[in-house]
A = this chain, B = another copy of it.
Amino acid sequence: MKNYILILIFIFFIAGESFSQLVRKDMVVPDIPGYVTLKCDFHIHTVFSDGNVWPTVRVEEAWLLGYDAISITDHIEYQPHKKYIPVQHNAGYEIAKPQGDRQDMIVIQGSEITRVMPPGHLNAIFIKDAKRIETERIGHMHSAETHTHGYLDSIDHHHQDYMMAIKEAVDQGGFVFWNHPGWEPQAPDGIKMYDVHKDLIGKGWLKGIEVANWDTWYPEAFQWCLEYGLTMLSNSDIHQTEEIYEKITKVTRRPVTLVFAREKSEESIHEALADARTAVWFNDMVIGKEEFLEPLFSQSIAISQAFFTDNDRNRYYNLKNKSDFTIDLLPPDEDQVIELLPQSTVIISVKDNQGEIDYDVKNFLIGPDQSMRVKLSID
């Protein structure tokens, strides 16, 4: 009676296997001539640094929202869970990647190189091994704790040459960008670019900047991207669950980096980032170069004539927004914006002798203070 054999048939819910019961709300953004438009978030945390969820959750959450690609970018140097979870820099990617495959979500390996300013925090994505980016500790290390806005802050920090870490990331083929350059705790006197950033840009090691992060966007960062030809990114930096992230930040939409890629693949995303083919979708704003915003706009809009002509010689047109963008149009010589909601139609009236209408698209920014102007031809 001692050595009987149990046949155990246990059925368990295993983390990250639940997708077959989930339904994704598609994110409707038009492709532009020559490129597919991919929706990406390249800055995401898990329990393997200071985040609150298991890596598979990040795939599920992003999939539900309609993203095409994400990067898990846990801090290398900041590991507040290490009392319970041994430091494993590649774990987030290892766990998320198979889940991504099953959900057709591209998962890109990444890490956050986490230093005081300058250079601040940098993300390295498309890397091969995050462990090798962790540099040795040299000299004294001081840590300080401080409270800001209810966040408790504490960190182990290697003040050692971050250049070694960045070089290692670049040597692995990584794409490195500067995170939340105006983050108040690291920029208490306002956002600014340091010499080291210029140096890194000059070396070709730093190729992008987060123009939007968490619940904030940085007009100066947008300007720098335009000036230096850098890639613009718009990432969530999410630590909590999606639900709690939305409640805390009150964003109308989690940030999206729009990537104009030759096809939906990891390689094409890498190529597009290297080529600065991106735009920023943050809350209801779309920010980027006119060469990308103009086709995004024109592919989103359809115009058709309504039947009516009234006594004042107005014609009426249906202006339809096929996309999930909100589009705020300011007609010429008016001060009230027409807010064209996602996948909606408004009716506009046009004087009989007009052949086209100019609009100022107030929430499509092609410069820090410059909204895009468009002409809609009607006939």
Contacts and interface: CB of A to CB of B under 8 A. Distances in A.
A339 to B, nearest CB: 7
A151 interface: yes
A20 interface: yes
A244 B20 contact: no
Given A51-B15, A152-B17, A23 B57 contact: no
Contact of A52 (B16, B19, B91, B143): B16
A144 B7 contact: yes
B240 A18 contact: yes
Given A4-B139, A10-B153, A154-B12, A23 B341 contact: yes
B240 A243 contact: no
A340 interface: yes
A104 B316 contact: yes
A242 interface: yes
A7 B345 CA distance: 38
A98 B310 CA distance: 9
Given A12-B50, A60-B244, A150-B20, A26 B344 contact: yes
A247 B242 CA distance: 13
Closest 8 CB pairs of A and B: A11-B185, A101-B308, A104-B306, A10-B155, A6-B159, A11-B153, A20-B150, A52-B54
Contacts of A149: 20, 336
